[in-house]
Each structure stands twice: as C-alpha cells, then as structure tokens.
C-alpha cells in the first residue's frame, strides 16, 4: 500500500498493532485493530516493515520498568517506508526508507528531562504496528541498500553504541575500548570501534560467542581464564588500562571495570544485565580519576552520523539471529528471553 496523497478521513482503513491492553505481560500482548493514524501537517505515515526486539522491550514486558500508560504498543526499534506525508513535510517523501528515532525529541547535544522521558515502546506507543505516524523531525533515513530487517537493528542498539563511543566518548584512533558481553549493542560497539580506528576488546564468558566476536575483529578476554579479566585488560594495554569501558553488565563487577580503565578514562554505564544495583569503590574511582557516564539511547544526530558512516563504507553490519513473522511476535519475545540469540531477533511483515 503506497499512498501518494494523504488518505481522506472517511476512507481511513484499519491496521493491526500489537498492544498491551490491560497489563504489561507477554500473555496480554495481542493484535488489535486500530484506525490508520491521521497525520498532522508535519507528520509522516510510515509502514513498518521490520521490528528489532530489544532487551528493554523484554524488561517492559516483564514489568521491570514499572508502570506505563495502557494500552501500549510495544517495541522501540523498527524500519519501514514512507507511505504518506503531511502537507508541510519537507524532510521526507513517499517511498523513502526510514526509521523512527527511539527517543523522538532528542535532536543533538545532551538530553534533558523532557526529552529523556519520551521513548518509543513505553511510555510512547512503539513500532510493533503496521503503520505509525511520526513527526518528520523524529525520522532518519536508513542506510542505502539495507533491507528493512537489517535497518531495524540500528535505532536502539547501534545508535546507543554510537552515542557512547563516538558522540559522548570521542573515541580516537588507537584507543582501547573494552566491551562487556556479546549482545547486539556490544557487537555494534565492536564494529564502531573499528570504524574509528580504535581496538575493541570483548570481555565475555562463552567461548563460542567470543570466537564469533573475534571473527568480527575484536580482541577477546574470557572471564573464565585463570588470570582475572581486569589484569588481562591491563596487560593487553601495557599496564595502562582501557580508554573507554562499555559496561553493559553492572552488578558486582564495577570495581573490576574501574580497575581496568586507565587513569582519566571513562566507563560507560550501558546496561545492567547482572543487576540494577552495584557497589562502587569510591577511593579507587577517585584515585584513577575515572568518569562513569550513563548512556541510554542516542540523539537523532548520532543516528544520522551513524547512517552516513555506513553509507560512506564503514564496516558496520547488522547481525540477525532470527526472523519471525509479525503474527508470531510473541515468539520473538520468548526467543530473546530464552534463546540466547547472537545478534538481533527481528519481526517482519513479509517474513516467510
């Protein structure tokens, strides 16, 4: 369906969305018919062709993010095609391939509270729908030649990694960047580190996954080795420690993270896979003059810069673990929860 002009109100067809109706729980998630959204003068109607499921979406589905307004359309990371544009839209045209920005009001620079509050998939309606209406300022073109499934992996995982490494981190060629785990954002961080000429070092615990990270160009450190991983990281960096540590784990490992980071370096607090609370050795942190910088998502500017880098040939690729059809979206949540995917779990409209 490609609208060349905005459909008149009376002819608005229905569309399908997944929706949490009465509570945040995978079992409550159901397909609901809604009228196709009317677009305001500066809005764009986007047909969503693919959605990438994020751990945040899973946490919301489990109620771990607290209360959110209901009903709610889930999912924060998607891609599709412009099918209609509002009367004053100037940035996009019908048939452009686009992705909605995960934090729609974040243009550039640091966030403030107003900006940070609004996020797709909660509290704002997300992209697990056939169509979404998006302000033209909250959309980004996807990389030339990328499929919707591949492009859908970018808005949260890749943009967050770009924000942490490039926009906020200012990573330079020759820098050492440690990255915990082999999740999708971590794998993007490996590629982005290589793009800027830095050396990515992945710290993980699964030999098979580490081997795949190595194949992507990372140095790898196995936490099961007899030598403690922080000592390994210091040894790999000539005793100096890494310039930037992308810590997606949290929990009780933050002391080792700080001990692995060079004096004056930065730890990017990027996630909390191992626990939402951590213990911090203030004395060591101050003595090493380490900065802990929380990162959550990224700006439209970061997203646009990322796409431009890909278009210019940066070695950044989507890694897709599995693709499921729209109707089976709940299976994607289950696979993300239990399947230990390497790369992204994608929900597509046209999946076979």
**Residues found near its own copies in the complex (CB under 8 A):** 40-41, 91, 107-114, 116, 166, 170, 172-175, 192, 195-199, 240-241, 250, 254, 262-264, 269-272, 275-283, 285-296, 301, 305-312, 314
In whole angstroms, how close is the CB of 13 to its own copies at the nearest point?
23
Q: Which is nearer to its own copies, 77 or 302 (CB)?
A: 302
3-state secondary structure string across 72-126: ECCCCEEEEEEEEECCCCCCCCCCCEEEECCCCCCCCCCCCHHHHHCCECCCECC
Q: Which C-beta is closer to its own copies: that of 113 or that of 338?
A: 113
If the CB atoms of residues 222 and 311 are measured against its own copies, the closer one turns out to be: 311
First to last CA, the chain: 19
d(CA 185, CA 296): 11
* Nearest to its own copies of 49, 121 (CB atom): 121
Supply the minimum distance, in Å, between the C-beta of residue 93 and its own copies: 15
CB of 208 to its own copies, least distance (A): 26
Nearer to its own copies, 129 or 290 (CB): 290
Q: Is 314 helix (H, G, I), strand (E, B) or coil?
A: coil
- As a whole number of angstroms, the distance between CA 287 and CA 264 comes to 9
Q: How far is the CB of 261 from its own copies (least distance, A)?
A: 11
d(CA 290, CA 297): 22
Alpha carbon distance 311, 296 (integer Å): 24
CA gap 37, 28 in Å, rounded = 23
- Closest separation in Å from C-beta 292 to its own copies: 4
Q: How far is the CB of 242 from its own copies (least distance, A)?
A: 13
Per the CB < 8 A criterion, the answer to whether 72 and 106 are in contact is: no
Q: What are the C-alpha distances in Å from 228 to residues 53, 97, 183?
A: 33, 46, 22
Least gap, CB of 123 to its own copies (angstroms): 12
Closer to its own copies by Cβ: residue 52 or 257: 257
- HSE, CB side, 13 Å, CA atoms: give it for residue 106: 28
Nearer to its own copies, 207 or 263 (CB): 263
Q: CA 294, 176, 280 angle in degrees (round to 5)?
A: 40
């Amino acid at each position: 369906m490609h609208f060349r002009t905005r459909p008149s109100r009376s002819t608005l067809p229905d569309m399908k969305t997944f929706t949490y109706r009465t509570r945040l729980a995978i079992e409550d998630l159901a397909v609901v018919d809604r009228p196709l959204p009317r677009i305001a003068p500066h809005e764009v109607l986007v047909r969503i062709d693919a959605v990438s499921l994020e751990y945040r979406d899973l946490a919301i589905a489990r109620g771990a993010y607290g209360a959110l307004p209901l009903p709610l359309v889930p999912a924060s990371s998607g891609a599709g095609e412009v099918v209609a544009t509002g009367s004053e839209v100037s940035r996009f045209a019908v048939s452009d391939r686009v992705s909605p920005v995960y934090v729609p009001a974040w243009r550039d620079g640091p966030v403030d509270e107003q900006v940070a509050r609004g996020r797709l998939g909660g509290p704002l309606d997300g992209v697990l729908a056939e169509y979404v209406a998006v302000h033209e300022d909250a959309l980004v073109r996807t990389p030339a030649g990328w499929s919707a499934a591949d492009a859908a992996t970018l808005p949260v995982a890749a943009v967050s990694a770009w924000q942490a490494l490039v926009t906020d981190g200012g990573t330079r060629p020759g820098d050492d960047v440690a990255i915990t785990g082999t999740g999708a954002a971590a794998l993007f961080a490996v590629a982005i580190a290589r793009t800027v000429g830095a050396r990515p070092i992945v710290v993980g615990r699964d030999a098979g996954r580490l081997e795949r990270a190595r194949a992507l160009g990372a140095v790898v450190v196995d936490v099961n080795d007899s030598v403690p991983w922080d000592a390994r990281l210091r040894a790999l960096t000539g005793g100096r420690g890494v310039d930037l540590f992308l810590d997606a784990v949290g929990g009780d490992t933050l002391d080792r993270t700080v001990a692995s980071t060079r004096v004056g370096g930065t730890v990017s607090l990027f996630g909390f896979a191992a626990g939402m609370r951590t213990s911090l050795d203030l004395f060591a942190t101050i003595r090493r003059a380490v900065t802990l910088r929380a990162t959550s998502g990224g700006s439209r500017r970061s997203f646009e810069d990322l796409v431009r880098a890909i278009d210019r040939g940066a070695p950044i690729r989507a890694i897709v673990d599995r693709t499921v059809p729209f109707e089976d979206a709940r299976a994607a949540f289950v696979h993300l929860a239990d399947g230990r995917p390497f790369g992204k779990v994608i929900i597509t409209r046209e999946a076979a």
